[in-house]
Amino acid sequence: MVALSDRKIAIVKTLVESAPDRIVGGLRLALAESVGDSVLASVRQLVEVEAVDRMLRNTIFQPVTPLCVAGGDDSHKLTFPAQALTFVWRGLKASAPSEIAAALKVSAAMAAAEAAGQRVPDPGPAFNVLLALAAEGLRTAGVREFRTAAELCERVRPGGAEAFAACLDIGPIVRKTLPRLGDWVAQTGDETSAPARLAYKDAVAVAEDAGPRFFEMLASQLDPPWMVLRIISAIMDKPTERYLAESELGGFPERVMADIDESLKAISKLDLDGGREAGREAARRVELITRQTFELEVCIELNREHGWGHRIVGQKKALASLVEGCLRDAEKLTAMALPNHSSGFSRPRKSGPKLDEPPDPKAVRRAITLLSFTHEIRFCANYGGFSAMHTKVIEKLGAFIDHYIEEVLDIVRVGHAEPAIGGAFLAVAADVLALIRDEKAAELVRRRAARACAPPDNTVVLDA
């Protein structure tokens, strides 16, 4: 087969160079399976070179790479356009090829040492030179690529180019903290706070206003980013709400509380027809809120009567109210999915499962949505303040479903309902049981249903 022409290769190269890292990585994996295809050989080589080049770039710029995302226009946190980093890298390749060659050599030595189980050399000196050159290039804009990067940053927000350069200025300090970030977040005490304070002091020694940038850069390296509250708390020795609010770092807790408000809105708009995944997503937001409020309460000395403390108390109450409403609705919708006959007038009484028609798909889906939600919040119910309600609902549903299953099995066995309809309701009941107990209990019901609702044995025995 004929290889691609130089013109087409040039087009592919332009497309690959402008593609996000995720796309380039995907192409690299896809093309790795086409080794024997001569047509794609040049494309595969091009993508491989680009992927290796980006790995080097991202390693060198590791302190700021997570800040360079999409259009860089997030109004709630410090970000820069991803393309700005691309042009900064091109500017360095045009203006500092020898420094990049030295960094590539160090990167290869690191990979070889790691593969051999040897001590990995410190890349800081070689990498940090490039950060300094990049910061200078953004400020002077003497090289076309640096000028383009600066324009991209300025287009997103005024002063964006200087902010990017200022982040590069403290990049070497942030790079030193990265291997210890996990310990800083996981542990407390002087062993954590002392080195964190030193790193913070080093950052503000570079520039007096470097504090917020320093924490933004640390937050971008953490998952989730709001865990940076622990480092802020360690450095400031668990600050009071008032002190932190009046400092330049007050935006970090404010951002977390704004996230909580957004999650509360999302939970209140739970789509009952969304099924299991909708219920699970709402439950994940409940868990997220409980974790976030816990961090705020642990990391900051709050006053429940006013300010942030009062706001967080209100958010916890709103969460408990939303969750308890969903739990009550879970009971009602389960009863609608597994209906009973009613008799009487002023006070209807249940008289057994209603098996004259198949289950209503909409009612079943709505019940499963809220039962999935109920199942997923079980681990955060205690801290969230709705443990008692959760336990009560689970117990009531358990008693209801046990009784319902036995009644349906009895009705089917005596022939007072079609086996197919009875089996359909038992299948729903098993799904409910899996969500309020476990899959083992549900499987037992499914086996019992299969035996009770199986068609009669119509085997014909021939006379001898």
More confident residue, 65 or 35: 65
What is the residue-wise DSSP string for 264-291? HHHHHT--GGGHHHHHHHHHHHHHHHHH
Q: What's the mean pLDDT when you consider all of the chain?
A: 87
Q: Residues 10-38: what's their mean pLDDT?
A: 62
Whether residue 48 has pLDDT greater than 80:
no
Beta-sheet strands, E only, within 297-443? 340-343, 349-353
Per-residue HEC secondary structure of 136-182 comes to HHHHHCCCHHHHHHHHHHHHHCCCHHHHHHHHHHCHHHHHHHHHHHH
Provide the whole-model pTM. 0.83
CA distance readout (Å), 44 to 36, 250, 257: 11, 49, 47
Rounded Cα–Cα distance for residues 316 and 293 (Å): 8
CA-angle at 137, arms to 132 and 140, nearest 5°: 125
Residue type present at position 452: A
Backbone angles phi, psi at 249, to 5 degrees: -100, 5
Mean pLDDT of 261-267: 96
Q: Report the first-to-last Cα separation within the chain, whole angstroms.
A: 72
Check pLDDT > 50 for residue 459: no
**Lowest-pLDDT choice from 65-74, 284-293, 320-329:** 65-74
